[in-house]
Amino acid sequence: MAKECFENDEIVSILNSLFVCIKIDRDERPDIDRRYQNAVMAMGGGSGWPLSVFLTSDRKPFFGGTYFPPEDNMGRPGFKKILKTISEIYKMKNSEIMEISNKLMASLKIIAHEKGEIKESTTQEVMLKMLTFLDVNNGGFGTAPKFPITGAFEFLLNRYFLSGFEAVGSAVTMSLEKMKKGGYHDQIGGGFHRYSVDAEWIIPHFEKMTDDNAWLLRNYIKAYSLTGNEIFRRTAEDIIYFVRTVLSDPEGGFYASQDADITSDDEGSYFTWTDNELKGILTDEEYKVLSLHMFSDKGRMHHDKSKRVLFDAIELEKVAVITGINLGKIKELLLSAKMKLLETRNRRLAPFIDKTFYTSLNGMMASSFLKSSCILGNNELKDFAIKTIEKISDLFIKDNRVYHTYNINGIIDDYIYFLESLIDAYEVTSLKKYLERADNLMSLCIEKFWDHENGGFYDTETDVLDMRLKNILDIPHPSANALGILLLIKLFTITNKTEYIRYAEDGLKYFATQAEEAGLNAAYYYCALDAYFDTLKLEIRADCNSKLAKNARAIFYPYKSIIYGEDTGNIIPCTRKVCYEPIREIKGLEDFINNLRGR
């Protein structure tokens, strides 16, 4: 639409003569974007980007939509016609439009509802319902276009451990394997694209987002920790490689995203390949293996059939049978071919990278790096995450206020996601300064965002477009309210401050009915609910860098909180208000946790 409409001289002339045009960056102002997205959805216009919204002079929406072609096409009104029609109606029926916009805005405000109950049985019931939405052939949930629902993967992986229900584990691991094999996963440069336009995870929308990759890294590193499957470890390391080489500032900090395209009329040109290109880059043997394995007709681009997305179309074992080359040699040839393609691609003109720092995104990725560092034993990840935390703290936390980015006030996502990285930093380093900063930041969250009458965090500190919202939906990543409740539980476990668990209980009750209605799209709420009943506290009474402490941090348990005590060479585990005998050997801790599995 940017090229078709906003570079069209006639449309630009109409816009400038009939309207006051304002462009909002959805990344800089997600609070404004969310309100107008909700308004357009309420009109029946769908949601997404690009979003065009028509407002009254007091910023209230009365019409909007996502994609409009420049001229009438396939039953869709053209943008040119819409602009002229809207201008005429606004002049002729102004009073009616004002009334409509006022009613629409009123409908978007929070409506009081009955609080629900906190029931332990709920998570098992929800787990079984979520499985009914599984795409049993291709993995993931729903049909095309297909997004990874990372909050649901987190919840179901955790439930698999706690319930011992094998069908749940199979559903998630199958989904993660299918996603990894598709073109949705960048097979050459690592990391994942925005979403898949088809149900099979083959053709992606090529944009790469920091938040998507932060949460997918958690999914894959958790799946590896839980199952020991090397596919998940390698995929996690692929994500890390992409983030460190493309979305990281060497001095600390993570960038926001990488664009999908070089130009709007050649989608995915940076990431796709022609047959002649492959033949010109690879040896005959490399070409034979890679083309059989990854260069399938299913990967052809709709706008240019000569270009294809690489994905795992045929298993390597079958490639070995077809070619008569042994499997070990096949893997060597494939690795060599991928390295050559990466070197070639790195010489291409690359898509634009948005190098803006956002506090929320940096908190997400720093947390994911810290969690991964424990599982992989990778100190470089830990060090870069800590460097990022300090950099973002210096840039965007000032005078008891968190900023979203330069000169823009933070929303609840910025406070909560960064707070999580501080707790993770404490658990990984044992440095109390990070716990103290997390504790202080949660106090600020409660002061600035908490609804003391009903429960839950508002999204903004003050009204934006005459309203504050409270959201429990994981759109596109796990809800800040759900994570906030989970962190309240975690801080209660670590600090014993009873006010934290009271706030968590109020939040769980407030969102219970909304989460039930949303189901799959509020999956991370159920992580918080599970954590309320099944958090494991480990008091590590050992040096942070000791083998015992490192193994305790690496061992899998879905909801684990760590606190450090005096070094007496042991660990005290506590769960469900009961503390057990000190454990001195990692084998003893493994046995203790295994006894909690599927109970």
377 sits in the region (left: phi over 0; alpha: psi -120 to 50; else beta) called left
Which residues of the chain fall short of a pLDDT of 50? none
Phi/psi at 248 (nearest 5 deg)?
Answer: -125, 140
β-strand pairing of 204-205 with 195-196:
antiparallel
Is 582 strand, coil or helix? Answer: coil
Q: What is the CA radius of gyration of the chain?
A: 25
Helices (H), 121-229: 121-131, 150-163, 166-181, 210-227
Question: Shortest CA distance to 485 belongs to which of 511, 508, 514?
Answer: 508
Q: Which helix (H) or strand (E) holds 401?
A: strand 401-405
Question: Shortest CA distance to 208 belongs to which of 187, 234, 185?
Answer: 185
Angstrom distance (rounded) from CA 194 to CA 211: 10
**pLDDT at position 74:** 76
**pLDDT at position 507:** 98
Q: Which helix (H) or strand (E) holds 153?
A: helix 150-163
Phi/psi at 287 (nearest 5 deg)?
Answer: -65, -45
**pLDDT at position 599:** 64
Q: How many CB atoms lie within 10 A of CB 266?
A: 14
Peptide bond into 476 cis (omega under 30): yes
Angstrom distance (rounded) from CA 107 to CA 103: 6
C-beta of residue 258 within 8 angstroms of C-beta of residue 208: yes
C-beta of residue 592 within 8 angstroms of C-beta of residue 573: yes
Angstrom distance (rounded) from CA 408 to CA 358: 10
What does each C-alpha distance from 56 to 99, 100, 105, 468 come to in angstroms? 11, 10, 12, 20
Q: Is the dihedral of CA 350, 351, 356, 362 positive or negative?
A: negative
Query: What's the token pair of residue 563?
Result: 């606190």
How far does Cα 270 stand from its chain's mean position?
A: 24
Q: Which helix (H) or strand (E) holds 560?
A: strand 560-564
Peptide bond into 145 cis (omega under 30): yes
Angstrom distance (rounded) from CA 562 to CA 424: 9
Q: Which helix (H) or strand (E) holds 562?
A: strand 560-564
Angstrom distance (rounded) from CA 350 to CA 468: 39
What does each C-alpha distance from 73 to 44, 67, 81 come to in angstroms? 19, 12, 11
How far does Cα 118 stand from its chain's mean position?
A: 26
Is 402 strand, coil or helix? Answer: strand
Peptide bond into 250 cis (omega under 30): no
Domains of the chain are: 9-108 (3.40.30.10), 121-260+354-534 (1.50.10.20), 275-350 (1.10.10), 538-596 (no CATH)
Residue type, 284: D
